[in-house]
Chain A
Amino acid sequence: MPQTLSAYVPATTLEGAKQLIAQGPAASQIAIKQLGTNGGGFFNVNSAHPLENPTQLSNLLQLLYILLIPAAFCFLFGHMVKDKRQGIAIFAAMGILFVVGLAVVYGAEIHGNTLYDTLPIDQAAGNMEGKEVRFGTGLSALWAEATTAASNGSVNSMHDSFTPLAGLALLLNMQVGEVIFGGVGAGFYGMLLFVVLTVFLAGLMVGRTPEYLGKKIEAKEVKLAVLAFLSMPVGILVFGAVAAIVPSALAAVQDPGPHGLSEILYAYSSATGNNGSAFAGFGANLPFHTTLQGIAMLLGRYAFIVPMLAIAGALATKTPAPASAGTFPTHGPLFVVLLTVVVLILGGLTFFPALALGPIAEQVAMLADQTF
């Protein structure tokens, strides 16, 4: 990777055309963008660019950087509450969601685009549209999963070209609130929102006032958790719905049919989730979208973090009750599974209808060889 303050280098290609090779202090910026789950590319095509992500080794390192701090937060939490198992449980739930998402993305991508089946295109390596040959389907799927899960947004392949089902998994990663590792810190407090809701339901079912780490989850905490949760449907569904019917906004949509809706959903999911990646066909550079997505970003960050901080404040003032056999343990495999299911069901129930008209409709159309 280049790390220089020198000017761009002119070059002559094999065909004899003149080309200006962009360069600059890329290496240091890339380390920052990945480690801080920022995701903004030094070069326009981000980590798909050969100078930004030249080899599989650089790919591996960048992937590691994307997930490193968000994942470490689980263990920091375990350390802070003086019970490592609590952190490991949350890490495990995030890990399961990550692996399930990855399996869907990779499975869909390696299966290829069935519309090309009759064309003389070799899809043995899966759906290679929009992907770099040096990464292939596997590393592209892994990166796409990691970058949407971790609220990073840098890409090494074009998500717009993914098969619909893979696109759905990426969408859902963002729509559940960027809680699968998520942004630095932001992902962890997002997951704690689901922990509060899970503990509340599970706690009732064991016949006690629900408690997490000995702190009672009461009306105030539930109210704040619901408030925080609302920021995702408002930012994605309400803003997305407005964008889907306002004529001046529709110019941004590149493709007809369900994929057009997927582009809108992706744009607003990415903005509300503070992710930053995009279905690149979507021309967001319109006053309408820049304004509305700007608001969505503020909403997704602050309408989420303020109630969560309030929950933390409310819990901090409570006297912890000692755990007993009647206390529902929040570290075992049962809790991990329950937390995972709650994330999927709450996220799924909220976004399934919209996703049905977008990626799901597109997927069934693709399988039926139908185009729009």
Chain B
Amino acid sequence: MTKHKRKDFSLFDRALAAQAARSAVAKLDPRVLSRNPVMFVTGVVALLTTFIFLRDLVIGAAMTGTVGQIAFWLWVTVLFANFAEAIAEGRGKARADSLRATQAETECRRLTGDPAVHENFELVSSQRLRKDDVVLVEAGDLIPADGEVIEGVASVDESAITGESAPVIRESGGDRSAVTGGTRLVSDWLVIRVTAEPGKSFLDRMIAMVEGAERQKTPNEIALNILLVGMTIIFVLVVVTLEPFALFSGTSIPVAFLVALLVTLIPTTIGGLLSAIGIAGMDRLVKANVIAKSGRAVEAAGDVDTLLLDKTGTITFGNRMADAFMPLPGVSERELIETALLASFPDETPEGKSIVDLAHKMLGREVDALRERVGEFVPFSAQTRLSGADLTDGGEVRKGASDAMLHYAGAKASLDLTRIVESIGKSGGTPLVVARDRRILGVIHLKDIIKPGIRERFAELRRLGIRTVMITGDNPLTAAAIAAEAGVDDFLAEATPEKKLELIRQEQAEGKLVAMCGDGSNDAPALAQADIGVAMNTGTPAAKEAGNLIDLDSDPTKLIEVVLVGKQLLISRGALTTFSIANDVAKYFAILPALFITAYPGLQALNIMDLASPASAILSAVIFNALVIFALIPLALRGVRYSPTTAGELLRRNLLIYGLGGLVVPFAGIKAIDVAVSALGLV
């Protein structure tokens, strides 16, 4: 159901990586660095350690080499974090550049007088168009700006925006009147009223979003940042007070070693990857062809409690299809099928085609031989309300609604017919009565066909704790039957825009977060009221303005994916924070015995990793701390693996991987680095 047409960049694309490496250095600028408190602290102490190294070099102090290496790895820590952010931004920029290419300046015809008169125009640059200008666009032209069609019908190639190569129809009035700047007209002409000021167009917003230029921290990101700052303050207190305690114990710890302890304790892993996770989350959304107007909307999507989905096109295919042939007593099934087939061969409507398909399925392809017997097609008309064919042998076959067919047959409904028709109606289907030569043979059961896989999707959502509500214009009986078959939790039948709005307000009053998707202008109030409103790209400008997410594929099931992206974003942050904190345990066991070896040699008992020397232990912990950021960049960009399941199960799994893993991994990692450090004779 999803189309992943956009190019996916390999994780470390060579050109991207080179660019990111340069920008990682540029990001050392204190003004940039200070936006990330954890990394700012790391940068400051790296600078401090560098000064100490230079001073030691001049006065020729002991362990200068170790101090120099610590300083080096502290800088590497900051650079890795900057690199993570830069590579995430770089991927967004690359995507933005390809979008920008479509935004090239073009000449366009601005109508100067009456919009109905196409001859009075002036040629202006697309950059100079203002809101409410009216332009004429002809086949082959780029549409110069976002706008609404006020006259004409044309097909438009929107592949630059949506990636979908098949052109789409755009016409004035109705729900298909919005056009996007940068798309190309492939046939006919349109008169368009511009709806966006220059620089504020849809494409501009999309570029800003993927570039991260307009990225504002989301509420949960802010909260997490506060926690990280708090932990940094706590560990600053821990490390600063350690020196007086050491002095009391008759020893003094070199400042470079205290710095090493501080940097390994503060949450550098999550601090370094936090913004990369956010940017990458946006990027994943763009890849799914969804544009978020704010990061807040994506995060809120993870919290959704209730999902409102339109029946048609989302849960069911747009049309009703034949599901079964139900003959009256005394009529063979074969006779009914053949008659229905004869009545449907020339019928080009989706219902007619579905009858032919079902007949093929039941009797095989051979029945196509019957086609020769069809004489003249009798199309559906409002008067007769039935359709069919006159046969070459003079017979008549007809199909239609029950009352129309009874009128045609000039008969009263038999008990059997009434029973069949009513049972089909009760199950949510539509009965189509079939007759031959005015004799009623039986009924075709037409029903809404549920899209394959949708039931499983709803079950998934239920496990996530999300309630699905089907919105339909059908009567309650039909709606209930389809709702039961599709596996939605609830339905809103005979829905009107007012009813939708009321439903959303009611859910929100219960403290629930509501998501919905829509395309029509009459959806706009509900889209605006919903916490997450996904507007279809094919929708009206009003709908697109009211929603906070826009789906370029206009696929209503995309909402489900948006929810998953939102959740994955939060999970990635939480998991890496847990990992970061859990890491500290091993770092204590590496560094503390090394720091206290002169005061209390007995504390070597804490050196459970059996690290080679104090200097090697401290250096190994610092190196591990830096490398782990680099190693986790792919995870930050990709997001933590996530499959829908209950919260308890999810937590158990993530705690096992990132909590327990975070405890164990650094023991192995630091030991391995220590072996390498001492083998290479670095200290």
List residues of A whose CB falls within 8 A of some B CB: 197, 200-210, 214, 217-219, 221-223, 226-227, 229-230, 233-234, 237-238, 240-242, 244-245, 257-258, 260-261, 264, 319-322, 324-329, 332, 334, 338, 341, 345, 348-354, 356-358, 360-361, 364-365, 367-368, 370
Complex-state Cα separation, A126 to B155, whole angstroms: 91
Bound-state CA distance A370–B601 (Å) is 11
Partner of B646 from the list A260, A325, A356, A361 (CB cut-off 8 Å) is: A325
Whether the pair A205, B568 counts as a contact (CB closer than 8 A) is no
Report the separation of the CA atoms of residues A206 and B568 in the bound assembly, to the nearest whole angstrom: 9
Nearest residue in B to A204 (C-beta to C-beta)? Answer: B574
Q: Is the CB of A226 within 8 A of B245?
A: no
Closest B residue to A351 using CB positions: B238
The one of B230, B241, B513 that contacts A230, using a Cβ cutoff of 8 Å: B230
A229-B234, A352-B588 known, 8 other contacts, Cβ within 8 Å: A209-B570, A226-B227, A226-B229, A233-B237, A237-B237, A328-B647, A361-B603, A364-B602
A229–B241 Cα gap in the complex (Å)?
17
- Asked whether, in the complex, the Cβ of B245 is within 8 Å of the Cβ of A244, the reply is yes
Taking CB atoms, residues of chain A closer than 8 Å to B234 are 229-230, 233, 350
Q: Does B169 contact A (CB under 8 A)?
A: no
Q: Mark B257-275, 1 if CB is under 8 A from A, else 0.
A: 0000100010000000000
Q: Which residues of B, 559-612, contact A by the 8 Å Cβ criterion?
A: 566-571, 573-575, 577-578, 581-582, 584-585, 588, 592, 596, 599-600, 602-603, 605-606
Do A260 and B647 touch (CB < 8 A)? no
Q: How far is the CA of A328 from the CA of B242 in the complex (A)?
A: 38
CA distance A14 to B199 in the complex (A): 102
Contact A327 B227 (CB under 8 A): no
Select which of B467, B574, B642, B646 is within 8 A of A202 by beta carbon: B574
Do A219 and B238 touch across chains, with their CB atoms under 8 A apart? Answer: no
Task: State the main secondary structure of chain B at its contact with A.
Answer: helix
User: Which residues of chain B are within 8 angstroms of A245 by Cβ–Cβ distance?
Assistant: 244, 247-248
Q: Do A214 and B511 form a contact, CB below 8 Å, given A242-B244, A356-B606?
A: yes
Q: A201-B574, A241-B241 are in contact. Are A329 and B648 (CB under 8 A)?
A: yes
Tell me the minimal C-beta distance from A328 to chain B in angstroms: 4
Please choose the segment from B17-25, B160-168, B298-306, B319-327 that sits at the chain A interface, where 4 or more of its residues have CB less than 8 A away.
B298-306
What are the 6 A-B residue pairs with the smallest beta carbon separation, nearest first? A204-B574, A326-B465, A207-B567, A226-B230, A324-B465, A325-B465
**Chain B residues within an 8 Å CB radius of A237:** 237-238, 241
B249 A258 Cβ-Cβ under 8 A: yes
Segment at the A interface, from B85-93, B216-224, B369-377, B397-405 = B216-224
- Given A219-B223, A354-B245, is A324 in contact with B570 using a C-beta cutoff of 8 Å? no
CB-based contact A345/B581 at 8 Å: yes
**With the chains together, A207 CA to B305 CA distance in Å?**
13
Please, how many angstroms separate the alpha-carbon atoms of A204 and B566 in the complex? Answer: 11
* Residues of chain A lying within 8 A (CB to CB) of residue B231: 226
Residue of B at shortest CB range from A220? Answer: B223
Given contacts A326-B465, A345-B581, contact A207 B588 (CB under 8 A): no
* Chain B residues with CB under 8 A of A320: 511
Please pick, from B233, B466, B571, B588, the residue contacting A204 in the complex, using a CB distance under 8 A: B571
Instruction: From B350-358, B435-443, B473-481, B651-659, give the one contacting chain A.
Output: B651-659
Q: Is the pair A326, B466 in contact by a Cβ cutoff of 8 Å?
A: yes
Q: Which one of A197, A238, A325 has the highest number of Cβ atoms from chain B below 10 Å of its Cβ?
A: A325
Tell me which residues across on chain B come within 8 A of A332, comparing CB atoms. Answer: 648
- Closest chain-B Cβ to A301's Cβ sits at a distance in Å of 19
Option from A219, A345, A354 in Cβ contact (under 8 Å) with B226: A219
Q: Is the CB of B585 within 8 A of A203?
A: no
Distance of A367 Cα from B600 Cα, bound (Å): 13
Select the residue from B234, B245, B573, B602 with max chain A CB neighbours within 10 A.
Answer: B245
Q: How far is the CB of A331 from chain B (nearest CB, A)?
A: 11
Chain B residues 436 to 463 lying within 8 A of chain A, measured CB to CB, are: 462-463
A205 to B245, CA, bound (A): 37
Q: Is the CB–CB distance between B602 and A260 below 8 Å? A: no
Residues of B within 8 A of A364 (CB): 600, 602-603, 605
Which residues of chain B are near A226, meaning CB under 8 Å? 226-227, 229-231, 233
Query: A221 to chain B: which residues have CB within 8 Å?
Result: 223
Chain B residues, CB < 8 A from A367? 602
The listed residue (B248, B573, B588, B603) touching A244 by CB distance below 8 A is B248
> By the criterion CB–CB under 8 Å, are B467 and A324 in contact?
yes
Given A226-B230, A325-B647, CB of A356 within 8 Å of CB of B237: no
Are B652 and A207 closer than 8 Å at their CB atoms? no
A246 to B, closest residue via Cβ:
B244
Q: Which of A233, A242, A338 has the most chain B CB atoms closer than 10 A to its own CB? A: A233
A237 to nearest B CB, angstroms? 4
- Asked whether B602 lies within 8 Å of A206 as measured between CB atoms, the reply is no
| Chain A residues closer than 8 Å to B52, beta-carbon distance | none
A148 vs B300: C-alpha distance when bound (angstroms): 43
> Chain A's nearest CB lies how many Å from the CB of B265?
7
Residue B67 interfacial (CB < 8 Å) = no
B424 part of interface (Cβ distance < 8 Å): no
Closest to A233 in B: B237
Inside 8 A of B245's CB, which chain A residues have their CB? 240-241, 244, 261, 353-354, 357-358
Most chain B CB inside 10 Å of its own CB: which residue of A241, A326, A351, A367: A326
Whether A356 pairs with B603 at a CB distance below 8 angstroms is yes
Q: How far is the CA of A64 from the CA of B447 in the complex (A)?
A: 71
Asked if B536 CB lies within 8 Å of chain A CBs, one says no
Q: Which residue of B lies closest to A342 (CB)?
A: B581
B393 interface residue per 8 A CB criterion: no
Chain A residues near B303 (CB-CB < 8 A): 208-209
- Residues of A near B574 (CB, < 8 A) are 201-206
Nearest-CB residue, chain A, relative to B249: A357
B179 at the interface (CB under 8 A from A): no
CB of B677 within 8 Å of the partner chain: no
- Using Cβ atoms and an 8 Å threshold, which residues of chain B touch A319? 511
Tell me the bound Cα distance from A35 to B642 in angstroms: 50
Q: A356-B606, A361-B249 are in contact. Are A204 and B573 (CB under 8 A)?
A: yes
B242 CB contact (under 8 Å) in A217, A222, A353: A353
CB distance B592 to A352 under 8 Å? yes
Q: Which residues of B contact A334 (CB under 8 A)?
A: 648, 651-652, 655
Interchain Cβ contacts under 8 Å between A and B, 22 examples: A197-B227, A201-B574, A205-B574, A205-B654, A207-B568, A208-B567, A209-B570, A210-B220, A230-B230, A233-B238, A241-B245, A244-B245, A322-B512, A326-B647, A338-B651, A349-B265, A352-B592, A353-B239, A353-B261, A354-B238, A361-B600, A367-B602
A230-B233 CB under 8 A given contacts A325-B463, A350-B238, A354-B242: yes
Q: Do the beta carbons of B592 and A202 come within 8 Å of each other? A: no
Give B592's nearest chain A residue, CB to CB.
A356
- Does any Cβ of A come within 8 Å of B366's Cβ? no
**Nearest CB of A to B443, in Å:** 42
Q: How far is the CB of B182 from chain A (nearest CB, A)?
A: 35
Q: Which B residues are CB-close (under 8 A) to A203? A: 570, 574
**Does B194 have its Cβ within 8 Å of any Cβ on chain A?**
no
Best-buried of A206, A230, A233, A350 by chain B (most CB within 10 Å) = A206
